[in-house]
Amino acid sequence: MLVGGVKALIQSFFRHFLKPLIPPLCPLCHIPVEQDYTLCATCWPVVEFISAPFCDQCGQPLECAMAPTIICGRCLTDPFPFKAARAVFRYTPASSPLILNFKHGDMTYLADFFAHWMLRDRGYFKDVDLIVPVPLHWTRLLKRGFNQAALLGKRLSLQSGIPHAPGILKRLKETPSQGGLSKKERARNVKKVFHVNPSMKSHFQGKTILLVDDVMASGATLRFCAENLLKAGAKAVKVQVVCRSKV
Ligand SMILES: [Zn+2]
Ligand SMILES: [Zn+2]
């Protein structure tokens, strides 16, 4: 029961008490590094951090840009309901251990690293009133023991001072894994899967929400979360994820 959650609690306990005694470690190869929130010199160039130019709406890195604010062809033909999205790094075979170890409970303390990296561009968070994580269905939550998006949201809230509201969105149905599915199939999977908690509407009506998740691929999950929040009265929705995979 809740093996991942117990593992995460033990990790957090030991890291809290042992942190003053152990040097910071590279989160990818685990060798000591000089500063917190950094990678070693070997791993740094391996992780492809995303910097401009990227699509302002979906955060997808672009080869070149003619203007400071750009929207990619995909977003021009099929716009997302959220007004902007940002990702810290690309999801590649080299960077995937970071996210997989985080998600499967072996390195949940990476939420703190990721939140730090998300906040590189403080300007992006200026108009955000509330942080809302993408929810897990209760069966998956029971199996995993924690929601990785809520861990990220909590650390982001602690580092930024923006309130975290994990109870606003609920996942009504478990959806099959989205890996290997077409865009249409993914969209069909997540449609009507999310629901806004009616008792919490007054918390976010007229406010700008930052939706947080670990990975953005097609963006179908984030699209439907944003649509639900906007329909229920949110002023605007922005998205922040740890990594962006190519679709
Ligand atoms: Zn390293
Ligand atoms: Zn785009």
**What distance in Å separates the CA atoms of residue 1 and residue 143, rounded to the nearest whole number?**
7
pTM for this model (two decimals):
0.86
Distance 38 CA to ligand 1 centre (A): 9
Residue 209: give its domain's CATH number: 3.40.50.2020
Distance 184 CA to ligand 2 centre (A): 17
Which domain, by its residues, includes 85? 3-244
* pLDDT at residue number 118: 96
Give the other-Cβ count within 10 Å of 165's Cβ.
20
**What distance in Å separates the CA atoms of residue 181 and residue 246, rounded to the nearest whole number?**
13
3-state secondary structure of 28: coil
Residue 68 confidence class, pLDDT cut points 50, 70, 90 = low
Distance 142 CA to ligand 2 centre (A): 34
- pLDDT reading at 37 higher than 80: yes
Q: What is the mean pLDDT of residues 138-165?
A: 92
**What distance in Å separates the CA atoms of residue 140 and residue 172, rounded to the nearest whole number?**
12
State the total domains in the chain: 1
132: tokens are 């809302």
